[in-house]
Structure 1
Amino acid sequence: MTLTQSRTRPGANGWTDGVFTNPVLAGLHPDPSVCRVGDDYYLACSSFEYFPGVPLFHSRDLVHWEQIGNVLDRPSQLVLPPTMPSSAGVYAPTLRHHDGRFWLIVTSVGDGGGNLIYTATDPAGPWSDPVRVPGVNGIDPDLAWDEDGNCWCTYAGIEQVRIDPHTGRTIGRPRRLWSGAPGAQAPEAPHLYRVGGYWYLLIAEGGTERGHAVSIARAPAPDGPFEPCPANPILTHRGTNRPIQNTGHADLVEAADGSWWMVLLGVRPGGGTPGWHVLGRETFLAPVTWTDGWPVVGEVAPVMTAPPWAAHPVPLPVPDDFDNDGLHPRWISVRSRPAESWSLTEHPGWLTLRARGASMDDPAVTFVGRRQQHLSCRVRTLVDATAGRGGLAVRLDERHHYEIEAGDGEVRVVARIGTVLSTVATRSVTAGPVRLRLDVIAPSPGDWHPSKEPDLLQFGIEEADGAVDVLTTLDGRYLSTEVAGGFTGRVIGMYAAAGSVRFDWFDYEPRGDDARTPGSESGP
């Protein structure tokens, strides 16, 4: 099936010759780790409670990224049980290429978790089943190999131990390397590099909130002793009014032309005080130069000078009409996606979802969504709920979500904010498919006051001619990290709460200033 309406979409990343817009990966793409193989760059991010896990991206220029798969795409690699809380799950991968193979080490936080190593010859997959590393007892693990072939695993603390990455066996005892700046909390996210005659240890500290920072130390050997950079922290936006905040959890990469770049996480708070970020922690890019043997990080701003080799972007995704054999890797579900819960073949041209939980409150809900990547966007779908109940949901976690739901001869809007669950609007509809629509509307830059919401979410029923019957408009701050807590961001998608629900198509469209957007994923 196809949409009756069509349009021409602009390119990604707000591209103008010589300039790009940050973030380079918008939406819930935190804790980036990057490596280069020849002229190709690969990047992985945290995925927390979502499945498939650890999205994997490819780029030729560090600016325009295309998702080529997910590292964890089958139950034999990782099981995220329903009892696992939101914002637990898969934390902070490190992606490296060594000896002809891609290596990824990551922490699973929750039941049956720990540190796990996966390998692949092709970064698009398939990736191996895990090798467990039981002797590493900390999050944010890193892998680095020295000239003698020794593999060093450094992790939050900041501690280090040699390991055999093929078996997960530790060699020797863990030892503390460096605790970062005096008094700074949460030294974490270590990455170890050999550059020239030194080994450099890059870390995050200050916590992943407004105090986030990046610091670095160096040593003559991978196990130290490390001396801190006299200019630490080499990057932080704490105590500033810059539009990008929480900058930290970084990784360095040397480009093919010898220049250096940093990928890092940050957020874009909106609204009044204290500022609410709704998209999650995103991936930003910054240039790096070297002075007196230390890296100097350039500005991290919304508009940046592009690398000289940066290519023109490819178009943004078109609406998904579910005519393909499988789902694009951008589609994610909560903790698992059992084969019996969804189908593209039961009704060809439709995505069929079968309910496992009675609402979006249920940790095992049948949900297929994508990350919200734009401050303003429009989302639409054609849903047939004659055999069940379901619709569109905007999810932060089980206790913070909005949805517009069809079934039982009506469309209703439901809001969950902490302990409060409320049906805020209803409308009777005739039998048959109905178009559901969500408009996320960010305020204009001059529309500000101290308690201004970061955005508004408008829910309605759309007619075939595009006219919309608005049922209600809800305040977006209640689906923000500053309200809900945790480490994730909004995910928008389709769900089934009862019976079997069919979706003919799903359309996600950037709006307003986001029509030429920072960091949009590319590809159909």
Structure 2
Amino acid sequence: MNRKILFILPLFLALFSFLGKNNGEIDETKPKKNEPVFSKVVYNGNDDVYKENPLKEGEFYNPILQGTYPDPAITRKEDDYYMVCSSFAMFPGVPIFHSKDLVNWKQIGHVLERTSQLDVTNAGISRGVYAPGITYNPNNDTFYMITTAITAGMGNIVVKTKDPMKGWSDPIKLDFEGIDPSIFFDDDGSAYVVHNDAPKEALYQGHRVIKVWEYDIEKDQVIPGTDKVIVNGGVDLAKQPIWIEAPHMYKKDGSYYLMCAEGGTGGWHSEVIFKSDSPKGPFIPSGNNPILSQRHLNTNRENKVDWAGHADLVKGPDDKYYGVFLAVRPNEENRVNTGRETFILPVDWSGEFPVFENGLVPLEPKLEMPEGVENKTTEEGYFPNGNFTYEEDFSADTLDYRWISLRAPRENFIEKDKNGLKLNPLETNINELAPTSTLFYRQQHNNFSFSAEMNYTPKFEKDLAGIVCLQNENFNYVFGVTKKDKDYYLLLQRTEDSKKTILASKKIDYKGDLQLKVEADGDQYKFSFAKEGEDFTNLGGTVSGDILSTDVAGGFTGSMMGLYATSGNNAVPN
């Protein structure tokens, strides 16, 4: 037989087989990707506290990072300040900020931005990266970021860089248990790691200890056998203090200081300080502990700020000390939807021990600026605070660092489009413990609106795209468009403790363009939509933001709004 016929015959047979199975038509039973394009997003924050307390010359707002940016740690090299925060299962991990003056901050990226550095693929949102510490070592001109990764067997890790603007190394796994590590570099070149750990024998619920290890800078590892308990329980073990954690060590005037959080990251949170002649102790507590807390104050105080603690100290540009720490701003129902945020206060270290200035009285929304500093937080590129509007049309070459995903890189599902940003739907949905095709922006105010312009036409009942408000995988709202039979429906689904309820659904006739919006007035949330050329229409009435609060949903994160798409939808219209 002719060689050409032998070569071509199998191709004809394969084609004949395909046509026989499909009658020469495309198999419509197989799902096809259906990709929404988001062309414009507007976030507007409008809290009363900022309207009632406008800035005067020489003032700036506190918190300096609004929204879920908890557990701040800070370091300094010459005139450059770098600050990091916890990120849990958010990806990329550990947001990092830069400032020249402690007032005006720019986000320069994330420390853990590669999958080789962080695996949170199947982690619950409050797992992942806990309490990072960042320290500059002048002895070798190197920055260290050390943290606990509660995921994928990572444990305690350290990454390094000569320049935080240029990325960080892959992680080095450290050989010790416990959480909340930080590194201290002494003048003589020696180094130490301090961290929270379990006691040999727990005396009560919440009993923890602080340990110190000698650290080998050449091997980047703690030195076996050098560990020592330097704080047992807290300031006074007889009072059964709980959750001594987040330790940081400092040296001043030849003495060593150990500052820790105590009381748990809630209503009893505080910051305490100890002193020693040696980094290995014994450490003696200050007689004026706590040096920062809001726990003893009137619970009904105006413009309430609470849960203050988990702090770190740095010397400012005016040669005065400052402390960054976490705290929360509850809404009128005393619920925490914006999460634990990053605040700052000046610190008086004129005496033997440092004390946060006005850290034991109700925290004010404004602070005086360090001498010679100009407030630039309203200018392009600087992280905004107070009331502000953020608009995004996704036309820039790079995505703003404030947009994050969960459990996997954003690049797995986003794609730049001539009309905006395209989301390639994954088969997972927002309630699954897996990566989803959702691009998140943190809620930064108790009173806010978040609107998105979307072009999308679902083709199958498993298709849905829209916006979500999420506290975690078991507590969230989904507001989007899907298909039922041959009709298009807009629906609002509430998930509370994994139980899903369709609060409202509406059959709509539209041509693909839709605006979706969520508005919050404290605990009251409203979802609305607008077809092209029409006004917004509410769907589902007013709903409670309770499931978006830490006190109801649990965990360590705040609420986030997301641009959402899925080809695995299980929310069915009524």
Q: Tell me by how many angstroms 1:217 deviates.
A: 0.6
For 1:282-319, what per-residue CA distance to the aligned partner results, in whole angstroms no more than 9, with x for missing partners?
11111111243111211232222222233222255742
Q: Which residue of 2 aligns with 1:420?
A: 499
Match for 1:128 among 144, 166, 169? 169
Matches within 5 A, 1:328-343: 328-337=400-409, 339-343=411-415
Match for 2:432 among 344, 347, 362? 362
* Alignment-mate amino acid for residue 221 of structure 2: R
Q: Which residue of 1 aligns with 2:472?
A: 397
Match for 1:436 among 497, 506, 516? 516
Q: Which residue of 1 aligns with 2:423?
A: 353
1:375 aligned onto 2:446: yes
1:483 aligned onto 2:552: yes
Q: Tell me by how many angstroms 1:464 deviates.
A: 5.1
Q: Tell me by how many angstroms 1:320 deviates.
A: 1.4
* Alignment-mate amino acid for residue 414 of structure 2: W
1:169 aligned onto 2:213: no
Match for 1:91 among 130, 137, 140? 130
SS in 1 for 2:349: strand
Q: Which residue of 2 aligns with 1:302?
A: 365
Q: Tell me by how many angstroms 1:173 deviates.
A: 2.7
Cα distance in 2 for residues equivalent to 1:428 and 1:320:
29
SS in 1 for 2:231: coil
Cα distance in 2 for residues equivalent to 1:220 and 1:343:
56
Cα distance in 1 for residues equivalent to 2:330 and 2:552:
12
Cα distance in 2 for residues equivalent to 1:357 and 1:90:
26
Match for 1:311 among 363, 367, 374? 374
Q: Which residue of 1 aligns with 2:64?
A: 24
Cα distance in 2 for residues equivalent to 1:122 and 1:320:
29
Q: Which residue of 2 aligns with 1:105?
A: 146
> 1:14·1:21 contact (CA, 8 Å) conserved in 2?
no
1:208 aligned onto 2:265: yes
Judged with a 3 Å threshold, the aligned counterparts in structure 2 of structure 1 residues 366 and 87 are, in CA distance, closer, same or farther, namely same
* Alignment-mate amino acid for residue 93 of structure 1: P
Q: Tell me by how many angstroms 1:467 deviates.
A: 2.5
Judged with a 3 Å threshold, the aligned counterparts in structure 2 of structure 1 residues 97 and 65 are, in CA distance, closer, same or farther, namely same
Cα distance in 1 for residues equivalent to 2:157 and 2:119:
12
SS in 2 for 1:330: coil
Structure with bigger helix share is 2
Cα distance in 1 for residues equivalent to 2:58 and 2:533:
40
Match for 2:309 among 233, 240, 248? 248
SS in 1 for 2:339: coil
> 2:126·2:557 contact (CA, 8 Å) conserved in 1?
yes
**Percent identity of paired positions between Structure 1 and Structure 2:** 34
SS in 2 for 1:185: coil
> 1:369·1:493 contact (CA, 8 Å) conserved in 2?
yes
Higher mean alpha-carbon deviation, 284-293 vs 47-56, is at 284-293
**How many residue pairs get matched?**
482
1:52 aligned onto 2:127: no
**TM-score, scaled to structure 1:** 0.87
> 2:55·2:366 contact (CA, 8 Å) conserved in 1?
no
Judged with a 3 Å threshold, the aligned counterparts in structure 2 of structure 1 residues 86 and 4 are, in CA distance, closer, same or farther, namely closer
* Alignment-mate amino acid for residue 131 of structure 1: I
Matches within 5 A, 1:34-45: 34-45=74-85
> 2:124·2:473 contact (CA, 8 Å) conserved in 1?
no
Cα distance in 1 for residues equivalent to 2:110 and 2:68:
14
Q: Which residue of 2 aligns with 1:509?
A: none
For 1:85-137, what per-residue CA distance to the aligned partner results, in whole angstroms no more than 9, with x for missing partners?
22110000111111322211011012312111111222233111111112x21
Q: Which residue of 1 aligns with 2:244?
A: 187
Judged with a 3 Å threshold, the aligned counterparts in structure 2 of structure 1 residues 176 and 466 are, in CA distance, closer, same or farther, namely farther
> 1:33·1:251 contact (CA, 8 Å) conserved in 2?
yes
> 1:15·1:312 contact (CA, 8 Å) conserved in 2?
no
SS in 1 for 2:166: coil
> 1:249·1:265 contact (CA, 8 Å) conserved in 2?
yes
SS in 2 for 1:193: strand
Q: Which residue of 2 aligns with 1:114?
A: 155
Q: Tell me by how many angstroms 1:69 deviates.
A: 0.3
Larger radius of gyration: 2
> 2:438·2:565 contact (CA, 8 Å) conserved in 1?
yes
Q: Which residue of 1 aligns with 2:525?
A: 457
Structure 1: where are the runs of 5+ without partners?
443-454, 501-524
Cα distance in 1 for residues equivalent to 2:411 and 2:263:
42
* Alignment-mate amino acid for residue 286 of structure 1: L
Q: Tell me by how many angstroms 1:367 deviates.
A: 1.0
Q: Tell me by how many angstroms 1:330 deviates.
A: 1.1
Cα distance in 1 for residues equivalent to 2:106 and 2:43:
23
Higher mean alpha-carbon deviation, 251-260 vs 234-243, is at 234-243
Cα distance in 2 for residues equivalent to 1:466 and 1:105:
52
Q: Tell me by how many angstroms 1:414 deviates.
A: 1.0
SS in 2 for 1:140: strand
Q: Tell me by how many angstroms 1:208 deviates.
A: 0.5
Q: Which residue of 2 aligns with 1:320?
A: 392
> 2:60·2:375 contact (CA, 8 Å) conserved in 1?
no
> 2:212·2:230 contact (CA, 8 Å) conserved in 1?
yes
SS in 2 for 1:173: coil
Q: Tell me by how many angstroms 1:412 deviates.
A: 1.0
1:281 aligned onto 2:340: yes
* Alignment-mate amino acid for residue 494 of structure 1: L
> 2:41·2:393 contact (CA, 8 Å) conserved in 1?
no
SS in 2 for 1:178: strand
> 1:390·1:495 contact (CA, 8 Å) conserved in 2?
yes
Judged with a 3 Å threshold, the aligned counterparts in structure 2 of structure 1 residues 63 and 6 are, in CA distance, closer, same or farther, namely closer
Cα distance in 2 for residues equivalent to 1:176 and 1:6:
47
* Alignment-mate amino acid for residue 225 of structure 1: P
For 1:489-521, what per-residue CA distance to the aligned partner results, in whole angstroms no more than 9, with x for missing partners?
011111112289xxxxxxxxxxxxxxxxxxxxx
> 1:51·1:335 contact (CA, 8 Å) conserved in 2?
yes
* Alignment-mate amino acid for residue 229 of structure 1: S
* Alignment-mate amino acid for residue 325 of structure 1: D
Judged with a 3 Å threshold, the aligned counterparts in structure 2 of structure 1 residues 228 and 286 are, in CA distance, closer, same or farther, namely same
* Alignment-mate amino acid for residue 110 of structure 2: N
Higher mean alpha-carbon deviation, 103-112 vs 45-54, is at 103-112
